[in-house]
Structure 1
Amino acid sequence: MSIQMSMKCAAKDPAVLDPGSMLHFEFVIFGFAVADNKDLERHIRMKQATRILYFCLGFLALLNFSFVQAEDPYRYYTWTVTYGSVKVLDQPQRVILINGQFPGPNIECNTNDNVIVNVFNKLDEPFLLTWNGVKQRRTSWQDGVLGTNCPIPPNSNWTYKFQTKDQIGTFNYFPSTALHRAAGGFGGFNVIQRSVISVPYPVPEAEFTLLVGDWYKTDHKVLQQKLDQGIPLPSPDALLINGLKNGPIFTGEKGKSYKFRVSNVGISTSFNFRIQGHTMTLVEVEGAHTMQEVYESLDVHPGQSVAVLVTLHASPKDYYIVASTRFTKSVLTTTGVLRYAGSNTPPSLPLPIGPTYHIHWSIKQARTIRLNLTANAARPNPQGSFHYGGINVVRQLFLANTAAKINGKLRYAVNGISYVDPTTPLKLADWFNIPGVFTLNSIPDKPTNATPVLAPSVVGTTLHDFVEIVLINTEDTVQSWHLDGYSFYVVAYGTRDRPWTPEKRNYRYNLVDAISRHTVQVYPGAWAAILVSLDNKGMWNFRSAIWSRRYLGQQLYFRVWNNEKSLYTETDVPPNALFCGKAKNPLNA
């Protein structure tokens, strides 16, 4: 039997193939026939042909790989931040506009896109934006909080540069300085999957972004003055959807499904969200695909985001979209409209009823939100592992929030430390080894009975630590905690009558499919437990999402560090970095 195979690689000897030459292959395989060839000769020829084939195919694969390794797409934005007068409720008031818009423009991008946002600050005071839930991999330089960035001075600009690496989901952005968040400056930040990656639910006909939050008639600077005097903020005056008290209309066609991306952009209040005559299928929470449970209404706490699918199966007319406050003495309600295409029938009362103060109802609902372990999409927690239940915890933190008076004024403390921002950002001080800015591990790992003090509190951790954090709420209001740069697994909620004990790990923790998210609520007098893999190097803010509490000290920072100097673990200080405080001349500090 003889088999003949010939191959030509641009008329070159395959052993010394010129990488710049064109490739041309000819394969000639003749079928089985009787011949006089010896077995040895046949074996040698087959081996030679095989080597040549593998060499040429390997080189072709390498060449093709070089062609497809183009850089991920860039999306450029130029934003001008100004004050403007807008009639939000019943009278005009000063708000923060981005490119003349209230709320600001949404960012719509794909997984792995490079996002470049050039921000021009036309306010009368320094300003920063933070990207709520959008994880800046290896670069806390872009986080946009005072612990990592010098603020953008008035009448100047600064450019954020980061990548939406390995993530999809529903996020938002907002101002992180002073009490600017109470004046606007927020918007949606939606990351959709690349075309080569599927999502575990039918592709919706369209998407709607709903930014829901509480609102004050009082100017944000007056609210800030109250806090500076140690006076707690009053209850908000209203709830808004996309900056409107009533009226935003979302139109769809009967029989089709739509994705509603809903974010709580308020500064203090949880709300319940529902759509008259329709159910909602939860599909995503803050970048994590969920088990697709069906709900009539959903609680969304400060700083949180959800995405739901809604199928228009009812009679063609208009239906109310409703959000109402939770756990408040007086219930605030706002409405929008879901309109069937061609409808001439306005929505009718009564509004669908939602829960008001029912805490146990909310806890039970929260426990039903679980991670979809079979989802084939960008990982919601690239820093961690889906097998988190089998990872050894190397550090345990028990963090309790308390109200206290320091120097005669109201403050909020965590484990006895009420955070204050130094004039030099923590990240710059750490990077340039500037002394006298903060003390590492200045905050204890457990609550103490010590008198609360003012200080910049920083928890020192090592890159790749797997940490358990138990958040203990000592007060009679719902708390909400957010961690920049990460998603964490919410493994347990506890109640006032069943305080946390080590035994809870054995029978209360969900160590299989706990939801991965960046913001978690802690119910009055209760606790919540989270697990987080700290493998995003940098200085990361852990804060109350209730903004008055954060402003008065309920926050801290995680320094995630190792002694390796590598761009694979952390980028260098950006060439356009702003310098302030002791870091104005960092090389001489």
Structure 2
Amino acid sequence: MPSLSFFTVLLIHIGLFVSFSSAEDPNIFYNFEVSYITASPLGVPQHVIAINGKFPGPTINVTTNNNVIVNVRNKLDENLLMTWAGIQQRHSSWQDGVLGTNCPILPKWNWTYNFQVKDQVGSFFYFPSLNMQRASGGFGGFIINNRAIIPIPFANPDGDITILIGDWYTKNHTALRKMLDEGKDLGMPDGVLINGKGPYQYNTTLVPDGIEYETLEVHPGKTYRLRIHNVGISTTLNFRIQNHNLLLAESEGSYTVQQNYTSLDIHVGQSYSFLVTMDQNASSDYYIVASARFVNESNWKRVTGVGILHYTNSKGKAAGPLPVGPQDEFDKTYSMNQARSIRWNVSASGARPNPQGSFRYGSINVTDVYVLKNKPPVMINGKRQATLSGISFKNPSTPIRLADWFKVKNAYTLDFPTRPLTGAPKLETSVINATFRGFIEIILQNNDTKMQSYHVDGYAFFVVGMDYGEWTENSRGTYNKWDGIARSTVQVYPGAWSAILISLDNVGIWNIRTENLDSWYLGQETYMRVVNPEANNKTELPIPDNSLYCGALNKLQKPQDISSATSITATRSKIFFVLLMIIYTLVPFFH
């Protein structure tokens, strides 16, 4: 007969297995089955990319310092990578989900991401990073909550709502990709979606019958936190709610000085949190609007996202014209001044107890300066390409981080120029040679006629300045060196520049890209290589055991048994069931 101590030890081991994590940093598990489904968000049936059969995908909801484990099963007919926009995988670009760091997940394969949301809070989103797939869906919200011991700088809201807005085409990403490959522009989108749904029929001429629209049901007098993400393709959207103020509270991981806006321009790839109090009467529902900005065509009116804010005691449907957006057709500075008004709340705690403003970024000496200039697409080797500083990025066959680890030669070059090239544009795998623990200044100069927004993986950077015209050394005199917002995506207006500062404390290979999908697909990106010369596991985690291999390292890749490729949580459940059966079998011995 087994002893009681044996039984106790068995229970302890099972308890440890079930927790599967330390008390300090729990593991949070998600399973993503990425596949096509048929949907008709604008009334036209089309293939969209769903996660677990849903479009948009589920919201990931975790807490600071959690270990996030996402098992991704690729049921598409092409390669897949998921990237976590704005999530700073500390010391582990292995989990970044872009081609510079990861080999793609092949069709019918699965791969498990495992990263810690270390010292981070706020509102973010995830999406598929390859081949314009985001234009067909696959995106969802990503919330990182404060630990209980760290207060948030406002009263706890009565509800938390994720809203995904974005321009949308009734052609899927493969058709859009083909247009770009043929040297064509994508043209005007067919609509704007709110949480994957088309517009409410506020106008029977512009909106056909039968469109499913988004309704947010709220309780009168309550205050909600609305997390708004522009997950679209290339269009800046102005977000507003009829008769309601938007109290800005957070953006991409930083608490802001709280200010009221009647509407706010949200550029592609950007995320904001607003506190909205339901303080209006309930005589009718209210419009939620996401409308295109910086466009001239009058027929863009049909490309407007419209949802409904519905009070539980509402007495009627929304009716009449939509609330009017900014009337600044002849004022180029209105939107930029609005952007400049967004400031860091330097007295609020972020992920740690110390105030956000305790990091005095304005007093740090800059070690490197890069001017990244974009222009309209150009022809390189007979193909239309987009460039940064005269270089169109060529994705390597062997990811840069893997090439470094295994000392693969000639996979890339460390010669990205500090100033734009003056000669003919080039197609190269050219990477920024950044300095670990350096402090880099990047000026993003937009010499195109279209709005652009730029994202840096692995970091939050400080937005210290933006203005029209060409940046010069004298432009530094206009920088905000005290409370510029820290974020991961910044807009750059046509014919203007934006300046950002980055403290290079996160070792890895980190993507710098336009968030405009057409320009990104055509090559408007590069990477920063941040290497600690004294290699150790404290500044960068080792290569994951489940790393995928491709390119020059293809022979290292073991075949995956597709028939037995099950999720981590499913496997754990089976083992747990077996352990329970063991207990069940042993229980009679103790009676």
Normalised TM-score (structure 1): 0.85
Name the residue aligned to 1:341: 312
Counterpart of 1:573 in structure 2 is: 543
Q: Does the CA contact (< 8 Å) of 2:150 and 2:353 recur in 1?
A: no
Q: Hey, what's the Cα distance between the residues in 2 that align with 1:111 and 1:83?
A: 32
State the match for 1:187 in structure 2.
140
| Alpha-carbon distance in 2 for matches of 1:483, 1:568 | 22
Alpha-carbon spacing, 1:172–1:382, altered in 2? closer, same or farther (3 Å): farther
2:43 aligns with 90
Matches for 1:388-537 after TM superposition, within 5 Å: 388-402=361-375, 403-441=377-415, 443-496=416-469, 499-506=470-477, 508-537=478-507
d(CA) in 2 for partners of 1:366, 1:187 = 25
Output the CA distance in 2 between the equivalents of 1:159 and 1:71.
Answer: 22
Task: Look up the match of 1:55.
Answer: none
Aligned to 1:563: 533
Match of 2:243 in 1: 277
- In the alignment, the residues of structure 2 paired with residue 428 and residue 379 of structure 1 have an alpha-carbon distance, to the nearest angstrom, of 33
**Contact 2:122-2:143 within 8 A present in 1 as well:** yes
CA offsets, 1:95-124, max 9 Å, x none? Answer: 111100001111111111111000000111
Q: Spell out, residue by residue over 1:226-262, the C-alpha distance to the aligned partner (whole angstroms, 9 max, x if none).
A: 1122222112110000000122111222221111100
Residue aligning to 1:296: 262
Paired residue for 1:362, among 320, 326, 335?
Answer: 335
**Which of these two proteins has the greater Rg computed from alpha carbons?**
1
Matches within 5 A, 1:5-154: 70-154=23-107
What is the alpha-carbon distance in structure 2 between the residues aligned to residue 486 and residue 190 of structure 1? Answer: 17
Q: Percent identity over the alignment?
A: 50
Query: Which of 537, 547, 566 is equivalent to 2:517?
Result: 547
Give the Cα separation in 1 of the matches to 2:354 and 2:422. Answer: 36
CA apart distance, 1:359? 3.2
Q: Choose which of 201, 205, 219 in structure 2 pairs with 1:253.
A: 219
Displacement of 1:190: 0.9
Write the distance in 1 (CA, Å) between the matches of 2:396 and 2:350: 40
Cα distance change, pair 220–396 in 1 and its aligned pair in 2 (3 A) = same
Give 1:318's aligned amino acid.
Answer: D
In the alignment, structure 1 residue 212 sits paired with structure 2 residue 165: yes
1:386 Cα deviation (Å)? 2.1
Aligned to 2:287: 320
CA distance in 2, matches of 1:340, 1:436: 61
The answer to whether the Cα contact below 8 Å between 1:380 and 1:516 also exists between their aligned partners in 2 is no
1:40 corresponds to: none
* Unmatched tracts of structure 2, length 5 or more: 1-20, 200-212, 558-591
State how many pairs are aligned: 516
Give the TM-score of the pair, scaled to structure 2: 0.85
The residue matched to 1:550 in structure 2 has which SS? helix
Residue equivalent to 1:29: none
SS at match of 1:413: coil
Corresponding residue of 2:111: 158
* Alpha-carbon distance between aligned partners in 1 of 2:241 and 2:554, rounded to the nearest angstrom: 52
Considering only aligned residues, what root-mean-square deviation do their CA atoms show, in Å? 1.8
CA contact (8 A) 2:150 2:352 kept: no
The aligned residue for residue 7 of structure 2 is none
Work out the CA distance in 2 between the residues paired with 1:195 and 1:355.
39
- Equivalences for 1:233-244 in 2 at 5 Å? 233-244=186-197
Is the 8 Å Cα contact of residues 86 and 459 (structure 2) preserved in structure 1? yes
Q: Shift in Å at residue 584 of structure 1?
A: 2.2
Partner of 1:42: none
Q: Is the 8 A contact 2:347 2:357 kept in 1?
A: no
Quote the offset at 1:342 in angstroms: 2.2
Cα–Cα, structure 1 residues 530 and 379, in superposed 2: closer, same or farther, change >3 Å? Answer: farther
Segments of 4+ moved more than 6 angstroms? 380-385
- Partner of 2:296 in structure 1? 329
Q: What secondary structure does 1:439 align onto?
A: coil
Which whole-Å CA distance do the structure 1 matches of 2:556 and 2:406 have between them?
A: 6
- Aligned-pair distance for 1:567? 1.1
Residue-by-residue CA offset, 1:405-435 (whole Å, 9 max, x unaligned): 1122211111121001111111100111100
CA distance in 1: counterparts of 2:369 and 2:296, whole angstroms? 36
Structure 2 equivalent of residue 262 of structure 1: 228
Q: Is the 8 A contact 2:31 2:71 kept in 1?
A: yes
Shift of 1:329: 2.3
- Equivalent residue for 2:322? 351
